[in-house]
């Protein structure tokens, strides 16, 4: 009977186990999780968990699904020839391997006292430090930076945010859209256009030479796919593990899913590195259907993610490039949204704020390759398709 080994203790790893069983796989499934926790959901770590809601558990019943879960077992190497995953506890053999190791936070130079929120232990540690009057320095006015700022302010902390770019979220959404978020940061000492030289024992030193004191320093400057253990494996790696539209790697017996993968998108005609919860949720089904011998499923959904910050819910759907044109959409009560179009006028991405119905329509329009009417495009009360 064949054995599937899943490496990674996050949503993608847990969902791979579930979907293998739901698609009829009857062989052995081994799940290797580097942390000493069962797989859990990560989005709450910078949201509800920082407010005291520690429920990040997934509902997977590993015993009922007959999954051999091995926590505290990190992959350290991969031998494609012998089909073995190397760990400190010994080699684990596989017939098919699914890599779902996610991504690791990029840390700042200097002192190790800085925090980055990637694990449940990171989130718990930060929550204990967020107290009234605590001086918190966030590096990066990013999605995570904004969510941590929201939780820190709610806890009564004094928050400073240092952002290298010209506006919050400018790296993700562009300067024009990012600038519209500046008023949300009114309660934060927001410093844009400045970088951090290093983290010190007392705070941070900016690239201007100024020292900013802090009780807590949080790095929110991005992540890198966790592929260091695969350096000598022979797998094709560029930014992350390169996979096709079926999430199969350059080795036919190995798949990659979630944040660790760079997948080919037939819709976009390009490789995408989609670091979103929704991709980790849906990708495993395509992997499972291929493994059990069904016709290979194409995994190419319209990307989607959300962020809760400063009392607002932001929803982004699609994928835009730096050359796409952005149009700000207006509505009643100062509501606004943003849409991106390629050079042929096709809708490629959409940003909605506190308007979930807009996201639903935008997602359908992007999937259909819609070229929105110019009038409808600028008015959020008008449908895009």
| Euclidean distance between CA atoms 182 and 338, whole angstroms | 16
Residue-level pLDDT at 54: 67
The DSSP symbol for 144 reads H
Question: CATH says 106-222 is which class?
Answer: alpha beta
What does the angle CA 322 – CA 328 – CA 333 come to, to the nearest 5 degrees? 150
Q: Domain locations in the chain?
A: 3-102+226-292, 106-222, 311-378
What does the alpha-carbon distance between residue 299 and residue 25 come to, in Å, rounded to a whole number? 19
Pairwise CA distance, residues 199 & 176, whole Å: 30
CATH of domain 311-378: 3.30.390.30
The DSSP result for 354-372, as a single string, is S-HHHHHHHHHHHHTT---
Quick one: which of 117, 139, 128, 147 has its CA closest to 189?
139
Sort residue 301 into left (φ over 0), alpha (ψ -120 to 50) or beta: beta
- Pick left, alpha or beta for residue 22 (phi over 0 → left; psi -120 to 50 → alpha; otherwise beta): alpha
Q: Given a cut of 80, is residue 360 above it in pLDDT?
A: yes
Q: Cα(270)–Cα(273) distance, rounded to whole angstroms?
A: 10
Pairing verdict, β 203-206 and 196-199: antiparallel
Q: What is the DSSP string of 199-263?
A: E-SSEEEETTS-EEE-SEEEE-S-EEES-GGGTTS---EESEEEE-TT-B-SSTTEEE-GGGEEE
Backbone angles phi, psi at 245, to 5 degrees: -70, -10
In a 13 Å sphere around the CA of 117, the CA atoms on its Cβ side amount to 30
In the CATH scheme, what is the code of domain 3-102+226-292? 3.50.50.60
User: pLDDT by residue (tens digit) across 4-63?
Assistant: 999 999 999 999 999 999 999 999 999 999 999 999 989 889 988 998 876 788 889 999
pTM reported for the whole predicted model? 0.94
Instruction: Please compute the mean of the pLDDT values over residues 317-328 and round it to a whole number.
Output: 95
Cβ atoms of 350 and 359 within 8 Å: the answer is yes
Q: Name the band, by pLDDT with cuts 50, 70 and 90, for residue 1.
A: low
Domains 3-102+226-292 and 311-378 share a fold: no
Give me the sheet containing 240-243, strands edge to edge. Answer: 237-238, 240-243, 261-265, 270-272
Q: Which of 29-33, 323-327, 357-361 has the lowest mean pLDDT?
A: 357-361
Query: Given this model, what pLDDT does residue 293 score?
Result: 87
Q: Residue 283 burial (CB < 10 Å; 0-12/13-18/19+)?
A: buried
pLDDT of residue 240 exceeding 90, the answer is: yes
Interatomic CA distance for residues 118 and 128, integer angstroms: 16
The residues with which 160 forms a beta bridge, in sequence order, are 137, 189
Q: Collapsing DSSP states into helix, strand and coil, what is residue 78?
A: strand
Helix pair angle (277-291, 11-22), 10° resolution:
30
């Amino acid at each position: 009977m064949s054995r599937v080994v899943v490496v990674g203790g996050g949503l993608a790893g847990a969902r791979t186990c579930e979907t293998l069983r739901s698609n009829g796989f009857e062989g052995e499934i081994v799940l290797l999780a580097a942390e000493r926790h069962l797989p859990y959901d990560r989005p709450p770590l910078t949201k509800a968990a920082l407010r005291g809601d520690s429920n990040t558990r997934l509902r997977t019943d590993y015993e009922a699904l007959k999954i051999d879960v091995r926590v505290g077992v990190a992959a350290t190497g991969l031998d494609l020839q012998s089909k073995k995953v190397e760990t400190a506890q010994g080699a684990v053999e596989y017939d098919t391997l699914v890599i779902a190791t996610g991504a690791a936070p990029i840390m700042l130079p200097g002192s190790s006292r800085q925090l980055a929120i990637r694990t449940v232990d990171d989130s718990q540690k930060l929550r204990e430090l967020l107290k009234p009057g605590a001086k918190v320095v966030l590096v990066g006015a990013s999605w995570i930076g904004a969510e941590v700022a929201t939780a820190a302010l709610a806890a009564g902390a004094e928050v400073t945010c240092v952002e290298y770019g010209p506006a919050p979220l400018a790296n993700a959404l562009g300067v024009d859209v990012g600038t519209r978020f500046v008023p949300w940061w009114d309660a934060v000492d927001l410093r844009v256009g400045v970088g951090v030289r290093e983290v010190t024992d007392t705070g941070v030193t900016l690239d201007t030479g100024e020292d900013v004191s802090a009780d807590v320093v949080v790095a929110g400057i991005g992540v890198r796919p966790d592929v260091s253990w695969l350096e000598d494996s022979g797998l094709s790696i560029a930014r992350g593990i390169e996979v096709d539209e079926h999430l199969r790697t350059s080795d036919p017996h190995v798949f990659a899913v979630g944040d660790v993968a760079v997948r080919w998108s037939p819709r976009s005609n390009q490789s995408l590195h989609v670091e979103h919860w929704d991709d980790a949720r849906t990708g495993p089904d395509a992997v499972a259907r291929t493994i059990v011998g069904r016709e290979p499923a194409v995994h190419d959904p319209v990307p989607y993610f959300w962020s809760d910050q400063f009392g607002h819910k932001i929803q982004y759907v699609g994928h835009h490039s730096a050359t796409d044109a952005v149009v700000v959409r207006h509505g009643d009560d100062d509501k606004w949204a943003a849409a991106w179009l390629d050079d042929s006028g096709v809708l490629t991405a959409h940003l909605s704020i506190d308007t979930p119905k807009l996201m639903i329509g935008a997602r359908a329009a992007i999937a259909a390759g819609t070229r929105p009417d110019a009038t409808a495009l600028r008015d959020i009360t008008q449908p895009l398709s």
